[in-house]
């Protein structure tokens, strides 16, 4: 019998599990995929938002503001990668300026301090960001915005949770839930689990889990967003996250450096009936490029690396749904943007709900908050890398583009979360994320996996189950005849 079972191992479920692992409880995470962070937590913008965009008075606004302030300590403990960059919301006309003024006022209502946010004009904008469009007239400068690696954060949270006693059951899709007095019985495709409390953090499928309990007061509208990633190092053409003035559909097409130094543009926002459709299409990518160039005109398409998409769990209610919807059943649903930013604060809120519901919370004396990094940054020349490609020890470089060593891959394979796919190794080490997109290193990674896990190389999957389509390398010819200027 478990005290608490969390359904879903995205960033929200992971944050809740890690927060609950501070207490003397028997906790279980159920995840239908064969790895954590295979849904929206894998494919999003990786922005730690500043608390100005969400409407004052909503859960989104409060939890975004609170979550933002928790990132530095979390990263100090878990080493998933976080950097405060600041952001600019660009305006090009009077209407944009009016909306930017509204954002500024909303930020102050949400708790953002005056020294953390300001409205600036063309001269200062171009001083801060010389590569943005000279057509810009005004911008909202939010200094507390940051960037992170969302899948690495999710992995780190779950590793820490398991280290502190939480159990993780992968490849366990919830089929039905039965209520038996003071406990629930969860039936999955693989087993059954008895639990006193259930936390529904199932992302785009959170409505499906809620319906199993007879709770029908919301539904999830899947909204697909597509992205384009550019070469590592090209993220330095800008210093901050660059937004355009938001519309009813969202924060619009952004241009941002990633934590690891790539440039990323996107996402669009398409209503989608298929919760598992993570394909990309040429017309949408064309739109993303043209719109991004409104902010940063000289984006070099020769540096395009790959494209991908993610599905956001947009709630019919218009706000996060975080409540004890039925006795000992807590919905944590509709966690779209700024869900990544809010996730640490959501976890705190859920713990308080559990406490009020009657769950006895006694803090552990031996809780260990620390989780060491997997990725070891290296300052190697390509000549040094080439020399290390055929070493006969664990310092051997397996992925030359990202300079990933055999030692790092072994580390990823032997941590708390059991993994075996190329995709899972990729999320933890960045192997295959470089210029060749795995053409060189996939056979080498398979060899290491085979050695460490004793799996025949031809039985090692390239992608995780349920993780969507692996992004493919994008050739410049992909954008020919689209009417897009090539630099």
End-to-end Cα separation, the chain, in angstroms: 61
Question: Which residues, in sequence order, are CB contacts of 317 under 8 Å at separation 6+?
Answer: 218, 334
234: left (phi over 0), alpha (psi -120 to 50) or beta: alpha
Query: Based on the number of CB atoms within 10 Å of its own CB, is 298 exposed (0-12), middle (13-18) or buried (19 or more)?
Result: exposed
Q: Is there a contact between 27 and 169 (Cβ–Cβ < 8 Å)?
A: no
Q: Which residue has the tokens 């028997």?
A: 26
Count of alpha carbons within 13 angstroms of residue 103, beta-carbon side: 28
Instruction: Identify any residues that bridge with 255 across adjacent strands, giving them in sequence order.
Output: 242, 265
- Residue matched to tokens 């639990």: 195
On the 0-12 / 13-18 / 19+ scale of CB atoms within 10 A, 412 is: buried
Euclidean distance between CA atoms 191 and 320, whole angstroms: 30
Three-state SS for 94?
helix
CB 37 within 8 A of CB 155: yes
Catalytic hit among 49, 56, 231, 260: 49
Tokens linked to 299: 């984006």
Residue 156 vs residues 153, 372, 416: alpha-carbon distances, Å: 5, 9, 10
Report the C-alpha gap between 435 and 399 in whole angstroms: 11
Burial of 393 (0-12, 13-18, 19+ CB in 10 A): exposed
User: Which two three-digit tokens encode residue 329?
Assistant: 């059943």
Count CB-CB contacts under 10 A for residue 191. Answer: 10
Helical axes 406-413 vs 442-453, angle rounded to 10°: 50
Cβ atoms of residues 122 and 44 within 8 Å: no
Is residue 267 reached through a cis peptide bond, with omega within 30 degrees of 0 on the bond before it?
A: yes
Instruction: Kindly state the tokens that stand for 124.
Output: 């200062």
The answer to whether 335 and 203 have CB atoms below 8 angstroms apart is: yes
Asked about 49 being catalytic, the answer comes back as: yes
Contact 52, 30 (CB under 8 A): no
- Tell me the catalytic residues: 49
């Amino acid at each position: 019998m478990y005290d608490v079972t969390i359904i879903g191992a995205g960033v929200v479920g992971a944050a809740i599990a890690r927060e609950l692992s501070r207490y003397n409880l028997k906790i279980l995470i159920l995840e239908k995929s064969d790895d954590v962070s295979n849904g929206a937590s894998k494919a999003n913008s990786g922005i730690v938002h500043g608390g100005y965009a969400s409407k004052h008075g909503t859960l989104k606004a409060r939890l975004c503001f609170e979550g933002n302030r928790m990132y530095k300590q979390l990263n100090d403990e878990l080493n998933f990668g976080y950097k405060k960059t600041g952001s600019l919301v660009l305006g090009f006309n009077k209407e944009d300026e009016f909306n930017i003024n509204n954002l500024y006022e909303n930020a102050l209502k949400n708790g953002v301090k005056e020294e953390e946010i300001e409205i600036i004009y063309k001269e200062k904008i171009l001083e801060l960001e010389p590569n943005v469009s000279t057509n810009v007239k005004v911008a909202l400068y939010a200094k507390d915005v940051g960037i992170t690696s969302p899948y690495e954060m999710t992995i780190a949270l779950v590793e820490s949770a398991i280290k502190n006693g939480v159990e993780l059951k992968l490849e366990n899709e919830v089929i039905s839930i039965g209520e038996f007095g003071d406990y629930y019985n969860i039936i999955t495709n693989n087993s059954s689990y008895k639990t006193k409390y259930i936390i529904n953090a199932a992302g785009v499928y959170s409505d499906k889990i809620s319906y199993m309990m007879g709770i029908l007061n919301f539904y999830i509208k899947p909204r697909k967003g597509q992205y384009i990633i550019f070469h590592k190092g090209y993220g330095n053409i800008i210093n901050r996250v660059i937004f355009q003035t938001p519309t009813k559909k969202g924060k619009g097409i952004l241009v941002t450096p990633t934590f690891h130094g790539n440039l990323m543009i996107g996402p669009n926002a398409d209503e989608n009936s298929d919760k598992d459709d993570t394909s990309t299409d040429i017309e949408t990518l064309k739109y993303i490029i043209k719109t991004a160039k409104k902010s940063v005109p000289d984006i070099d398409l020769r540096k395009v690396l790959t494209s991908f998409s993610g599905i956001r769990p947009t709630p019919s209610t218009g706000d996060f749904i975080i409540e004890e919807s039925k006795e000992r059943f807590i919905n944590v649903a509709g966690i779209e943007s700024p869900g990544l930013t809010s996730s640490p604060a959501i976890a705190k809120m859920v713990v308080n709900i559990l406490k009020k519901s009657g769950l006895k919370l006694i803090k552990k004396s031996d809780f260990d908050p620390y989780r060491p990094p997997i990725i070891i940054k290296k300052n190697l020349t390509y000549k040094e890398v080439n020399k290390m490609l055929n070493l006969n020890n664990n310092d051997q470089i397996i992925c030359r583009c990202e300079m990933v060593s055999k030692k790092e891959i072994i580390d990823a394979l032997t941590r708390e979360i059991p993994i075996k796919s190329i995709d899972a190794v990729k999320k933890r080490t960045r192997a295959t994320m470089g210029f060749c997109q795995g053409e060189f290193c996939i056979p080498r990674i398979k060899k290491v996996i085979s050695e460490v896990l004793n799996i025949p190389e031809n039985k090692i999957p390239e992608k995780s189950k349920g993780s969507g389509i692996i992004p493919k390398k994008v050739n410049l010819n992909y954008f020919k005849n689209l009417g897009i200027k090539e630099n």
